[in-house]
Amino acid sequence: MSMPTTTIAEDTAAPRRANAVLTGLRALFLRVGVLPFFLVATLIAFSLVSKEFLALQNLTNVARQSVYLILVSLGQMLALVTGGFDLSVGTAIALTSVVSALAMVTLSHMLPPDMLWLVIVLGCCAGLAAALVIGSINGLGIAVFGVSPFIMTLGVQSVGAGIALFLTGGVPVSGVPYEFGDVLGFGRVFDIPVPVLVAVVAASTIWLVMNRTRLGKHIQAVGGNAKAARLSGVNTTKVLFIAYALCALLASVAGLLLTARVGSGETNLGGTIALESIAACVIAGVSLHGGIGRVENVVLGGFFIVLLQNGMNIAQIGSYMQMVLLGSLLVLAVILDQVRYRLLVGER
């Protein structure tokens, strides 16, 4: 252990500091993935384009708009952590919207007006149940019959979209009780928008599930190494099934909130959310290989995607070009995930 002389220390201080920064960035990348880098880049880029972008008003707006994507991404994360993914989340939203709206419209004709709240609650339950069926079919195919998540959820996506269109004939279901939108869509509790509250509750619950329950650990184990999980006595079939069911349920909650917001049952509410939620998760460091993913990062990931869209709107980037950018970003994130996974788990 010899002391370095002062001159050498001065000569090497700069590169050493640069090295320390690099090591720090690498550690950050390994811990949380690409999100911090993307986030900083986005903030810098768009704040250069417009002053509006960083205004508190705009950011709270983005936070409020990102609620729906965050909810879906939380579910998507569960599927991703098991090592699969769910392409049918958009369908779960559409079906929830159509079924809950139809149920409310029908029930409000059958029940007296003073039972309006019962109508709304039953309508919501119907929507959740419809999504649960979607999730269960996914779970059944993937967990029990071993169908690849890609084919299973792609097929179910088409089935669900078809049913939603069939039920409505492609026309929005109108006549949803006004109070439904008033509370779930635009309501406030303690001056906090209801959708935001719902998302906070959902995110906290999923955090608890993933970090502090047996189910959460088993979901991580199945994605990390399914065979090892089975040999450790984990019921992998059950775990996979529950993951897909929960994923659909979370999408369904987003579907209810969106329905309340637009005030009618719509088949096109789920649009591109499958892609966006997968992008949000992967950018937030959820590995496509399974086993890795943190709830708090996914919340931030959902926020990031909406922030990006908001920034692109402000910068007046057309919606077609936005599709191109979002898709590219997803692919880039996946490539970086590949690198990160190799660094984390090593080549086996």
Partner 1 sequence: MGSLAAPLVEMVGISKEFPGVKALNGVHLKVERGEVHVLFGENGAGKSTLISILSGVFRPTSGAIRIAGNEVSFHSVHDAAKAGIGTVFQEFSLVPTLPVFENLYLGRELMRGPLTDRRAMLAGARKLFAELDFDIDVTRPASSLSRAQQQMVEIAKAFLSNARVLILDEPTASLTERETERLFGFIGKAAASGVGIIYISHRIQEFQKIADRISVLRDGRLIATVPARGTSEPELIELMTGRAVDQVYPKIAHRTDGAVVMTLQGIRTAGVHGASLEVRAGEVLGCAGLVGSGKSRIWRAAMGLQPLQAGKITLKGRDITGASTRALLEDGVFFLPSDRKSEGLQMTASARANIELSLLDRADFAGPLGLVRPRRSGALTDAIGDKVGIAKSAMDRAVSKLSGGNQQKVLFGKGFGDDRDVYILDEPTVGVDMGTRMALYQLIKDIAEAGKAVVVISSDLPEVMNLSHRLLVFAKGRIAAELSGAAITEENVLKHFFAETESAA
d(CA 193, CA 68): 13
The distance of closest approach from Cβ of residue 345 to partner 1 in the complex, given in angstroms and rounded to an integer, is 4
Please report how close the Cβ of residue 228 comes to partner 1 at its closest, in angstroms.
4
Nearer to partner 1, 31 or 188 (CB): 31
Which residues would be at the binding site for partner 1 (CB under 8 A)?
208, 212-214, 217-218, 220-221, 223-225, 227-235, 290-292, 344-348
**Which residues make Cβ contacts (< 8 Å) with residue 203, sequence separation at least 6?**
70, 74, 295, 296, 299
Give the DSSP H or E segment for 188: strand 188-189
Burial of 324 from C-beta contacts in 10 A (0-12 / 13-18 / 19+)? exposed
Task: Name the DSSP letter for residue 140.
Answer: I
CB of 87 to partner 1, least distance (A): 24
Smallest separation, CB 61 to partner 1 (Å): 36
Cα–Cα dist 121/125, whole Å: 6
User: Quick one: 222 or 269, whose CB is closer to partner 1?
Assistant: 222
Q: Alpha-carbon torsion 170, 259, 268, 321, what sign?
A: positive
Residue with Cβ nearer partner 1 (177 or 285): 285
Least distance CB 272 / partner 1 (angstroms):
29
Q: Which residue number, 109 or 348, has a Cβ lying nearer to partner 1? A: 348
CB of residue 71 to partner 1, shortest distance in Å:
23
CB of 12 or CB of 205, closer to partner 1: 205
* C-alpha span between 71 and 261 (Å, rounded): 15
Residue in 94, 117, 131, 130 with CA at minimum distance from that of residue 244: 131
- Cβ closer to partner 1: 111 or 208? 208
Strand, helix or coil at 189? Answer: strand
Give the residue among 61, 309, 95, 298 at the shortest CA–CA distance from 195: 61
